[in-house]
Chains A and B, each alone.
Chain A
């Protein structure tokens, strides 16, 4: 379970030569009872792992689509505790790795050690925290490490090479390469510098590199995945779920990993 499960799964998929695809879904958008159903659906579509977003009242790294989904989820009464309970229900039967994406404040209020223990109990394999740079990570990193949960770090296009090297060296499971200089949300295209950045990260990272932010169609996904190990798609998936357009989600994942 945990870090090893995530690492092994990603390695096995990488060995087939296919790009990794991690969809992001907002937990509780559409109802808390939809969480497991949607996880199973995304697994069936060919996802490599699931990034499960925990809603937060003030998500500064997110664009409008994920902000709105978060507000809907909060209105549905979604809390970190309820999401963990829901995820735990399928712990034994589930194969696909689960990664939680949450801002730090809900974890702080939960208690770092209790959070890590409950993640382990629920079968959560990795954690992404967008507002914890390496300068502030010591306590939460120690709590996650005690339970062998992968602490996935984020690299940014603004980070100098020295920082990138450190971040890549610390990241567990994979390295999340934020591939725009901005917040989450669909972009028509990525800058040319994105490709150099992904190539650079792939060279210096001991773990797989996945590009995320701004990716919304199979062409974009494939063109970026050519320079790293795979992609994370968030806003587009969240948007399609909210529209009830699961057919297009299936196509998006299917086309990318074909």
Chain B
């Protein structure tokens, strides 16, 4: 029997979530909720979605047994859920394809999105190109400088990329601008939000589209080892790959769940993105959740080597799972993530995204406390090609510093 039924009718996960948006957006948010409910129950929508997931994105993704990594750590059997093998190289497209199909169902022709590193922007531009939707992506000027190639990718895919100079000119400000654009164009535009954040029903929709990750993992784990894994580890910025992985396991209490936040230069410094470890509840971007903020309620900048985790909020459902204790949320520093990035490349021939490297790094710690008859799944949310240049520069800088 299903006992976990969040969100409730008002879009709350316990006390978190909700719809803290201007009245102007409420009709669109309510329309989206209705359209999603209808689509969810419509077999033809599910069939169409599954067809794209299989034929276009390349699912099912493997649950790969990382023998070398397991041997190296000497603990449990370690599996990698290979979301990096999806078309466009990350889990993001599981959500964008679903929301783009919803956009068509609502009779809208235009899509707006925000992006940090560019992964969600590329995944959105890709499905818009596929389905003939007009696409506009807001991206902070600072991020545009750091991720020039992804900007070109999006443009190649036919999207219009608009730089955001407001505030810190990073992801948080790109979300603000995307929301403002939506406020100004809500009659013909859908907002494809990139994570399990924003006003209800976005956190729920994104979770549902991403839960293909956890559903496949459960089934594959049973096929491969006749049982569920003992632990599951995923990285958390906004938290969409983690939520998609965790949700199907929420009621399987014997499976320990770990959402790994980015500790940046350390959670005791001002430069981190560990919202649950170092933040407090408040309202941002339409939802009530843990945030990095000062005493007066002004939102602070997040910082992480990984642009995809560089967000001062977190999905409201994670806040709920944190407060109820169902999921544990440790954090990993830039340095630890960089080590794991190199370790996985050397041992398994897989270069993980810097985001996913946070999950790998924590799994390495966790493995030390586990035994050989146990198993651990790491959600490898994306591939690291996009990060290679940045890592090269960082490692050179570090070795010069030491010399």
Contact = CB atoms under 8 A, between A and B. Distances in A.
B185 to A, nearest CB: 8
Contacts of A141: none
B20 A131 contact: yes
B282 A157 contact: no
Interface string B236-260: 0000000000000000000000000
A227 to B, nearest CB: 20
Contacts of A32: none
B183 A105 contact: no
B136 interface: no
Interface stretch (B24-32, B36-44, B53-61): B24-32
Contact of B297 (A61, A105, A132, A159): A105
Residue of A106, A108, A135 with most partner-chain B CB within 10 A: A135
A153 B18 CA distance: 18
A105 B176 contact: no
A133 interface: yes
Nearest to B281: A108
Interface string B188-221: 0000000000000000000000000000000000
A168 to B, nearest CB: 12
B297 A154 contact: no
B296 interface: yes
B51 interface: no
Contacts of A104: 20, 283
A235 B219 CA distance: 56
B167 interface: yes
A149 to B, nearest CB: 19
B176 A60 contact: yes
Given A108-B297, A110-B297, A163 B20 contact: no
Contacts of A131: 20-22, 283, 286
Interface in B2-18: 10, 18
A178 B286 CA distance: 19
A61 B296 contact: no
A106 B23 contact: no
A155 B23 CA distance: 7
A132 B24 contact: no
Contact of A133 (B21, B183, B293): B21
A178 B277 CA distance: 39
Contact of B26 (A58, A59, A64, A163): A163
A58 B284 contact: yes
B27 A183 contact: no
Contacts of A159: 23-24, 26-27
Residue of A103, A133, A163 with most partner-chain B CB within 10 A: A133
Interface string A96-109: 00000001111111
Given A136-B20, A156-B24, A57 B184 contact: no
Contacts of B179: 60
Interface residues of A, number: 43
A133 B284 contact: no
A106 B23 CA distance: 19
Interface in A71-101: 71, 74, 79-81
B22 A154 contact: yes
A105 B21 contact: no
A105 B283 contact: yes
Contacts of A62: 180
Nearest to A63: B180
Interface in B133-175: 166-167, 172
A158 interface: yes
A183 B183 contact: yes
A158 B28 contact: yes
A106 B183 contact: no
B22 A135 contact: no
A74 B23 contact: no
Interface in A43-76: 56-64, 67, 71, 74
A58 B299 contact: yes
A107 B282 CA distance: 10
Contacts of B285: 58, 60
B186 interface: yes
B187 interface: yes
B19 interface: yes
Contacts of B23: 133, 153-156, 158-159, 163, 167, 178
B68 interface: no
B27 A133 contact: no
Contact of B22 (A57, A60, A80): A60
Contacts of B397: none
B298 interface: yes
A178 B166 contact: no
A81 B172 CA distance: 25
A105 B184 contact: no
B369 interface: no
Residue of B167, B172, B282, B284 with most partner-chain A CB within 10 A: B284
A254 interface: no
A156 B281 CA distance: 28
B295 interface: yes
CB-CB nearest 5 A-B residue pairs: A109-B297, A182-B184, A156-B24, A106-B297, A105-B297
Given A58-B167, A109-B297, 12 more contacts: A60-B176, A63-B180, A103-B283, A108-B281, A131-B286, A136-B20, A154-B22, A158-B25, A158-B186, A159-B24, A178-B24, A181-B187
14 contacts: A58-B299, A79-B296, A105-B282, A106-B297, A108-B281, A108-B297, A109-B295, A109-B297, A131-B22, A133-B19, A155-B23, A158-B24, A181-B186, A182-B183
